[in-house]
Amino acid sequence: MKYRHAFHAGNFADVHKHVTLVALLLALARKDKGFLFVDTHAGRGAYDLASAAARRGDEAAGGIGRFAPGTPTGEPEVDAWLEAVAAFRQERHARHAYPGSPLLALRFLRPQDRALLVEAEPGEHAELRREFRDLPRVVVEHADGHARAVAAMPPIERRALVLLDPPYEDTRGDFEQAAATAAALLERFATGVIAIWYPVKLERDTTRWIEALAARIAPRPLLAAELWVHPRDSRLGLNGSGMAIVNPPYLLDERMRAWLPLLHRRLAAPGEGGWDVRLRSDAPPTTTPPRR
């Protein structure tokens, strides 16, 4: 699976990842004390869903295209994401604009919060830097995101959210690197919140990795939340989207069980896919994935 941000912007996996990111940011904002947000693979920040790259596979049609930005769904985290997308498009005067995780996160950061955005690809980094010029609480760096995130720990705020979103071009290597980075982050800052996006391609492979990750970061808690739109054991390519969250905020798992069914209904074909939320890899599923 050759991953490029522009090719997949706004697809079902982006929806899952971005609603989860919003949920995490809202949870951290419940406390007045500031925090550091680190995005290890930040991309360019903003995307045009009408561009040739985005329309190559028209993946956004099966993602953000299934929602009406600004129209309430009844789930606060989903509504906050949709409101952010609607506001972004209004500011850009572009109905096909879509914010990547850095610009999405910026809308939920408070004056006491900071952001470190890292991108290794030179062209993407140049675009990202243009998006965030003249913002003193945001640092944009051209570097290896894994190493830079670890070096940033512990933050002066003593609170942090690190989003690890590697491209998984080298599938096995990127999975291993994500787990190694999570372990290194915890060695330097044991209470930081770490959110790892991962592709769901073959169920047995993802289950094995989650189990290994849980063992590696023990005794820190691990929340794994998955949304799939195709059978998890098919060889279609990207069957689903996963978020592995180390040190999840209080009640995050309960809130995910409230809005993941909505994402499933909107993003999967009738009778296809499902969702799952579990607090540890060795525990049974905490809910029965709906399959209607």
* CATH label of the domain that carries residue 228: 3.40.50.150
Q: 102-125 pLDDT, tens per residue? A: 999 999 999 999 999 999 999 999
Q: Residue 99's pLDDT is what? A: 97
State the Cα–Cα distance between residues 248 and 251, nearest whole angstrom. Answer: 8
**Is the Cβ–Cβ distance between 243 and 18 less than 8 Å?**
no
Q: Residue 70's pLDDT is what? A: 87
Known catalytic membership, residue 165 = yes
**Is the Cβ–Cβ distance between 164 and 198 less than 8 Å?**
no
Angle in degrees, CA 28, 14, 259, rounded to 5:
60
Domain-embedded: residue 291:
no
Taking every pair of C-alpha atoms in the chain, what is the biggest distance, in angstroms? 48
Higher-confidence residue: 171 or 286? 171
Residue 208 pLDDT grade (very low, low, confident, very high; cuts 50, 70, 90): very high
- Please give the tally of structural domains in the chain: 1
Examine the pLDDT at 290 and tell me if it is beyond 60: no
Mean pLDDT, range 184-213, rounded to an integer: 95
Q: Residue 283's pLDDT is what? A: 42
Out of 14, 39, 165, 253, pick the active-site residue.
Answer: 165
Domain-embedded: residue 283:
no
State the Cα–Cα distance between residues 251 and 160, nearest whole angstrom. Answer: 18
**Is the Cβ–Cβ distance between 138 and 114 less than 8 Å?**
yes
Q: Residue 4's pLDDT is what? A: 57
Residue with tokens 């999967």: 268
Higher-confidence residue: 158 or 203? 158
CB count within 10 Å of CB 282 equals: 10
Q: Residue 106's pLDDT is what? A: 97
Domain-embedded: residue 285:
no
**Token digits for 283?**
């525990």
Range of the domain at 24: 5-278
Examine the pLDDT at 226 and tell me if it is beyond 90: yes
State the Cα–Cα distance between residues 196 and 50, nearest whole angstrom. Answer: 28
Mean pLDDT, range 195-224, rounded to an integer: 94
Mean pLDDT, range 1-7, rounded to an integer: 56
Q: Residue 189's pLDDT is what? A: 98
Q: 129-147 pLDDT, tens per residue? A: 999 998 989 999 999 999 9
Q: 22-66 pLDDT, tens per residue? A: 999 999 999 999 999 999 999 999 999 988 877 777 899 999 999
Mean pLDDT, range 150-175, rounded to an integer: 94
Domain-embedded: residue 286:
no
Q: Residue 260's pLDDT is what? A: 98
State the Cα–Cα distance between residues 25 and 162, nearest whole angstrom. Answer: 11
- What is the reported pTM? 0.93
Domain-embedded: residue 292:
no
Q: Residue 55's pLDDT is what? A: 73
Domain-embedded: residue 256:
yes
Domain-embedded: residue 289:
no
Q: 165-195 pLDDT, tens per residue? A: 999 988 789 999 999 999 999 999 999 999 9
State the Cα–Cα distance between residues 19 and 241, nearest whole angstrom. Answer: 12
**Token digits for 199?**
């592709």
Domain-embedded: residue 101:
yes
State the Cα–Cα distance between residues 165 and 39, nearest whole angstrom. Answer: 8
Mean pLDDT, range 65-76, rounded to an integer: 94
State the Cα–Cα distance between residues 157 and 114, nearest whole angstrom. Answer: 9
User: 232, 233, 243: which is closest to 274 by C-alpha?
Assistant: 232
